Amino acid sequence: MSKEITSRAADYSQWYNDLVIKGELADYSAVRGCMVIKPYGFALWENMRDALDKMFKDTGHVNAYFPLFVPKSLFEAEEKNAEGFAKECAIVTHYRLIADPSQKGKLMVDPEAKLEEELVIRPTSEAIIWSTYKNWIQSYRDLPILINQWANVVRWEMRTRLFLRTAEFLWQEGHTAHATRAEAIKETEKMLDVYADFAENWMALPVIKGIKTANERFAGAEDTYCIEALMQDGKALQAGTSHFLGQNFAKAFDVKFSDKENKLEYVWATSWGVSTRLVGALVMAHSDDQGLILPPRIAPFQVVIVPIYKGDDQKALVGKKAMEIIGQLKALGIRVKYDDNDNARPGWKFAEYEMKGVPVRLALGARDLEKNEIEVARRDTKEKRVLSMEGIAVYVNGLLTEIQSAMYDKAKNYRDEHITAADNWDDFVKLLDDKGGFISAHWDGSPETEEAIKDKTKATIRCIPLRNKEEEGKCILTGKPSSQRVLFARAY
C-alpha cells in the first residue's frame, strides 16, 4: 500500500485529515488557519463551482466583483451584522513596509503609513455591496438586482480544520435586491432549492431543508434558511444557507427606491452562500477506510485506466488499445486519465486511485488484449468485473450514472436511519451519545432553552424543517408545551 490512513473506527477525525492530505485535496500552509488547495482538490472545487454557477445563471443571476476591503465605518453600519463578525475580523491598518533599521535584511511596518480608516477584510460582503447598491437603485425599474460573487473571505476562527473551518475560504455569495418582501422571500427559498438540488444531484448528499432558530440565524438576517447534511460519525453539517435580510441592510445604508406610485420605499434583500466547506462535507459523507469516494458528476477524473505490461512492446500495444477506449469515453463526455507512468507499479496505482476516489478504474493488460477483455472496478462497492471490450464505453457511462445514484441512496439510507424521535430527556441524551444523527424532539421555542440544551449536550437545533408537521407535545428539557418537533444534532 502506498499510504496508510487511519480507520474511521480508530480515530474519525484523524481519518478525515488523512483523506484530505493523502488524497491530495489540500495541504497545511505557513499561515495560521489557512490551507493550500492542491490541484486535485481544486479540480473538484472547480467542478462544483461550474455546476453551481450554471444553476445560478439559469435562474437569472449574473456575476460581479466587489472589493476585498470593507472600510470600518461601512462595516459597522448594520449593527447586528457587525456585532456578529467583529470578533473574527482580519484588519488592515498599514499600507507599507520599510527596512528595519535594527535588523539587516528584515522589514518592518512603516509607522508613517497608517491608514486613516482601518479596512476589514470581508468576512461576508453585505456591507460593501449594499453601500454600492445605494448608487445603483433609484426606481422600481432598477429592481430586482440578482448578483452573485465568487470570492475569498476571511473569518479569524480560533479552531480551524481543513476545508471545514479555515480562516480564509473560497465561496460564492449571492446578494439580491427586491421591490417587495414577498419577492425577496421567494428568492431566498428558490436559492435554498438550488442548493438542495446541487447537494443531492451533484454531490450525492441528501439534505434536509429548514429554517434556523433565532440563536443560529445569520447576523443581520430576519430568517436564515439552511440545508443540513449528516456525516458518517453522526454529526450534522450545515451545507448552505440562504438569508432573508428584510430591509435591515437597506435601512443601514439608506437604500430606497421609488415604486410605481412614486412612493419611496426601502429595498428588500437576500443573501445566500456555499463555500469550500462543501468539499469537507463530501469527503466525510462518502469516503471509507481505503480513501476518498467521489461522486462521478463532480470527480476530477471519472475513470482511470491503468495499463499492465512488461517491456516497451507490450506497453505500446496496450497503450494503443487504451487510446481507442479513451477516445470512446471522451466522445461520451467522460473525464478520463491514463496513467502509464513507469515509476510506479499497477498495484501501487490501484491503491493510489482508490485513495483518490476515482469512481471507475479500468485495468488493461497484454493478456486482456488477446481475449478482448478489460477489468472494470467500481470504487464505491469495490466490485470488480471482467468484461468484453465491445461496448465498454457505453457500459462505463451507465456505470457512472449507477454509482452516482447508489452513492446518494447509501447516504440517504444512513441519514434516514439516523433521524430518531426522542420524547424524554434521558432518551434524548442517550441517543445523542450512543447513536448520534438528528434527534427529532419537542422544544418550547425559547432561545434560553435552546442554549441550556446546548450547554448540557453540545447539541444545537439544526433546523425547523420546511413544511414541518404540527404536533402537540412537551419540550424535551422544560416540559413546556410545544407545537412541533425540531431537529437537534451535534454539528461541525
Which positions touch a copy of itself (CB under 8 A)? 27, 29-31, 34-39, 41-43, 46, 62-72, 74-76, 79, 82, 86-99, 105-107, 109, 118-121, 128, 131-132, 135-136, 141, 147, 151-152, 154, 156, 168, 170, 343
- φ/ψ of 62, rounded to 5, equals -125, 155
CA nearest to 445, candidates 211, 182, 256? 211
- Closer to a copy of itself by Cβ: residue 161 or 454: 161
Query: In whole angstroms, what separates CA 178 from the centre of its chain?
Result: 27
List alpha helices for 206-260, DSSP H: 248-252
- φ/ψ of 346, rounded to 5, equals -50, -45
Nearest distance from residue 86's CB to a copy of itself, in Å? Answer: 4
- Closer to a copy of itself by Cβ: residue 118 or 423: 118
Nearest distance from residue 119's CB to a copy of itself, in Å? Answer: 7
Q: What is the C-alpha to C-alpha distance for residues 222 and 209, in angstroms, rounded to an integer?
A: 17
Nearest distance from residue 192's CB to a copy of itself, in Å? Answer: 23
Nearest distance from residue 404's CB to a copy of itself, in Å? Answer: 24
Nearest distance from residue 208's CB to a copy of itself, in Å? Answer: 30
- Closer to a copy of itself by Cβ: residue 99 or 332: 99
- Judge contact between 432 and 490, C-beta under 8 A: yes
- φ/ψ of 384, rounded to 5, equals -125, 140
- Closer to a copy of itself by Cβ: residue 46 or 426: 46
Q: What is the C-alpha to C-alpha distance for residues 93 and 161, in angstroms, rounded to an integer?
A: 27
Q: What is the C-alpha to C-alpha distance for residues 26 and 3, in angstroms, rounded to an integer?
A: 16
- Closer to a copy of itself by Cβ: residue 126 or 228: 126
Q: What is the C-alpha to C-alpha distance for residues 92 and 121, in angstroms, rounded to an integer?
A: 7
Give the H/E segment covering residue 454.
helix 447-457
| β-bridge pairing 481-489 and 460-465 | antiparallel
- Closer to a copy of itself by Cβ: residue 29 or 484: 29
Nearest distance from residue 173's CB to a copy of itself, in Å? Answer: 14
- Judge contact between 15 and 34, C-beta under 8 A: no
- Closer to a copy of itself by Cβ: residue 41 or 465: 41
CA nearest to 174, candidates 53, 256, 287? 53
- Closer to a copy of itself by Cβ: residue 13 or 136: 136
Nearest distance from residue 238's CB to a copy of itself, in Å? Answer: 22
Query: In whole angstroms, what separates CA 69 from the centre of its chain?
Result: 24
Nearest distance from residue 330's CB to a copy of itself, in Å? Answer: 14
Instruction: Tell me the torsion sign for CA atoms 282, 287, 291, 297.
Output: negative
Nearest distance from residue 231's CB to a copy of itself, in Å? Answer: 24
- Closer to a copy of itself by Cβ: residue 341 or 424: 341
Indicate the burial class of 187 (C-beta count within 10 angstroms; 0-12, 13-18, 19 or more).
buried
